Structure 1
Amino acid sequence: MTTALVATDLDRTMIYSRAAMGESPVVDGDLVCVEHYDGAPLSYLTVTSAQRLRDLAAAAVVVPTTTRTPEQFRRIALPGAPWRYAIASNGGVILADGVPDTGWRQAVDAGVRAEGAGLDEVTAELRRRVSDDWVHKFRIADELFCYLVIDVAAQPVGFLDEWDHWCRGRGWSASQQGRKLYTMPSAVCKSKAVAEVRRRLVADGTLAPDAAVLAAGDGALDAEMLVAADAAIRPRHGELEALDWRHPTVTVTRETGIRAGEEILAWFARYARIGAGSYSGSDAPCSPRQSFQ
């Protein structure tokens, strides 16, 4: 049996675009490209991170956990694959051996319907509030949530807080990661999906009953997953860093940018060798911005 499950966010936690690499000097020979888009290289990790991720996948159950849709996730050739389980669409999709679990998605959809407004109502209100002056793209993701790609410099002051306030009363929340502004139903969160994957792996004997859950992520959409884990780590950059978000069980890296990815993987390797704990993912909150105010 394996004694640790590692749930890790990808963008700006494990993998990095050129713009997100940070100020630490990185030469091309020290980079591994893991994603191409429209024929051009897009996302990287360092050679050191690539080897550490392979080693970690051989020693623990690694579950890539991303807000990307399944189609966007499949663009990534992540070292250590194939993955028994991966989590996409911010927890709305569990991929079992690469195939979306229909039962899980049905349960998520039912939860969204029960807890608040529908996607059509939310997107209609959001379209009413934004303009082409500062919004470059308006995207619906997996028929679950939506996000904007924006010009941050032109973004109206106070927009995020005002929009998040409107969403809160309707079972949704808003958060921003750089140029992307997400609007997410509260029923869709990574921690619930991680808890379900852990339950399945314990049931089939892959994980020890007291196996620890370790987690990493950089954004507000990762916060509930970090809190729910037995131990977690976040990079010293990104949305949570900008919010100065802290929690007693969450370590903050010394490094920033792509070098933080190396540090996170070293941390995972160290903690995966330490005993187990008890995971509270199914009870974790899924509206992280509330804890920032």
Structure 2
Amino acid sequence: MIFSRNGFGGAEDVEKECVEYYEGEPLSYMTTTAIARLRELAALAPVIPTTTRTIEQFQRIALPGAPWKYAITSNGGNILVDGIPDPAWRLAIDDQVRASGATLADVGAELRSRIDDSWVTKYREADELFCYLVVRPDEVPSGFLAEWDTWCRANGWSASQQGRKIYTMPDAVCKSLAVGEVRTRLTDAGELASTATLFTAGDGALDAEMLKAADAAIRPAHGELHDLNFTAPNLTITTATGILAGEEILDWFHAAVPVTEPA
């Protein structure tokens, strides 16, 4: 939904607004059309912002449609309820991570033993849940990602690359699980029919399970999943790329919302 200048995809002349600043500098944008469409969508149906970003990184976005009853951050490791992290969900996630494999400390130590400054610019830990590297993509050693992923999968984790970032994620931290939890809460509260359909969008490998779990899903014709040629029976791929794909995705969501007849 949001794009840096490098992600505009040739649509530099389209009218846009900045929706995220970092250290006082503009960072991420949406087209004015996408801003209006997202606000409209949030008024029509439950919209759940879902991201790999940390809580802090998510909260610096002025995402149209707020305030959000629910939002999912940290790749599913945190569910925000009215902007506040749900402690019960986080406790359950932490218990699952401990039970299913290596700890973040173990993984971080192993990862740091395999990297050096010639191709890694940063090592970061996110919300005490997972870690990631910021790399120079063209200088990542051949075979590193596959070898690292093999080690991770033997220890209850996995690795994937999205642009300049290589994520190392515990299996228990998964967007689709958090989306399922929010859906259950909305249904139990009577805010969502048990027969309601689920529509999702994403562009990275960490979105794949969430896309496959939906009744219908869409991804842009760019990004990590596009590079992987990811597809599924329930998946639509945009015709547009870059920031205009965000508009197309929102149009797709609008087309999916059932029309309610006046009472």
| TM-score (normalizing by structure 2) | 0.97
DSSP 3-state at the match of 1:211? coil
Task: Give the Cα–Cα distance (whole angstroms) in 2 for the partners of residues 267 and 168 of structure 1.
Answer: 35
Partner of 1:282: none
Task: Give the Cα–Cα distance (whole angstroms) in 2 for the partners of residues 130 and 239 of structure 1.
Answer: 22
Match of 2:49 among 29, 53, 64: 64
Task: Give the Cα–Cα distance (whole angstroms) in 1 for the partners of residues 7 and 102 of structure 2.
Answer: 34
1:147 and 2:129 are equivalent in the alignment: no
Which structure is richer in relative contact order (CA contacts within 8 A, separation 6 or more)?
1
Partner of 1:97: 82
Partner of 1:287: none
Partner of 2:9: 22
Runs of 4+ in 1 over 4 A off after TM superposition: none
Unaligned runs of at least 5 residues, structure 2: none
Matches within 5 A, 1:72-221: 72-221=57-206
Partner of 1:44: 29
Once the two structures are TM-superposed, the CA of residue 32 in structure 1 deviates from its matched residue by 1.2
Task: Give the Cα–Cα distance (whole angstroms) in 1 for the partners of residues 45 and 17 of structure 2.
Answer: 22
Once the two structures are TM-superposed, the CA of residue 274 in structure 1 deviates from its matched residue by 7.3
The amino acid that maps onto 1:134 is W
The amino acid that maps onto 1:84 is K
Unaligned runs of at least 5 residues, structure 1: 1-13, 276-293
Once the two structures are TM-superposed, the CA of residue 136 in structure 1 deviates from its matched residue by 0.3
The amino acid that maps onto 2:149 is D
Task: Give the Cα–Cα distance (whole angstroms) in 1 for the partners of residues 13 and 153 of structure 2.
Answer: 41
Task: Give the Cα–Cα distance (whole angstroms) in 2 for the partners of residues 104 and 266 of structure 1.
Answer: 32
Task: Give the Cα–Cα distance (whole angstroms) in 2 for the partners of residues 102 and 22 of structure 1.
Answer: 39
Superimposed CA distance per residue, residues 80-128 of structure 1 (whole angstroms, 9 cap, x where no aligned partner): 1000000000000000000000000000001101111111111101000
In the alignment of these two chains, the number of paired residues is 260
Task: Give the Cα–Cα distance (whole angstroms) in 1 for the partners of residues 130 and 232 of structure 2.
Answer: 27
Q: Cα 1:128–1:52, aligned 2, differ >3 Å: closer, same or farther?
A: same
Task: Give the Cα–Cα distance (whole angstroms) in 2 for the partners of residues 176 and 153 of structure 1.
Answer: 12
DSSP 3-state at the match of 2:152? helix
Task: Give the Cα–Cα distance (whole angstroms) in 2 for the partners of residues 141 and 179 of structure 1.
Answer: 16
Once the two structures are TM-superposed, the CA of residue 23 in structure 1 deviates from its matched residue by 2.0
Task: Give the Cα–Cα distance (whole angstroms) in 2 for the partners of residues 111 and 26 of structure 1.
Answer: 47
**Structure 1 stretch displaced more, 266-275 or 117-126:** 266-275
| TM-score (normalizing by structure 1) | 0.87
The amino acid that maps onto 1:108 is I
Task: Give the Cα–Cα distance (whole angstroms) in 1 for the partners of residues 237 and 155 of structure 2.
Answer: 33
DSSP 3-state at the match of 2:48? strand
DSSP 3-state at the match of 1:36? strand
Once the two structures are TM-superposed, the CA of residue 158 in structure 1 deviates from its matched residue by 1.2
Partner of 2:253: 268
Once the two structures are TM-superposed, the CA of residue 206 in structure 1 deviates from its matched residue by 0.6
Superimposed CA distance per residue, residues 215-236 of structure 1 (whole angstroms, 9 cap, x where no aligned partner): 0000000000000011000000
DSSP 3-state at the match of 2:128? coil
Percent identity between the aligned chains? Answer: 63
Task: Give the Cα–Cα distance (whole angstroms) in 1 for the partners of residues 194 and 226 of structure 2.
Answer: 33
DSSP 3-state at the match of 1:208? coil
Superimposed CA distance per residue, residues 147-198 of structure 1 (whole angstroms, 9 cap, x where no aligned partner): 0111111111111111111101000000000001000000100000000000
What do you get for the CA RMSD once the two structures are aligned?
1.0
Task: Give the Cα–Cα distance (whole angstroms) in 2 for the partners of residues 66 and 47 of structure 1.
Answer: 22
Partner of 2:38: 53
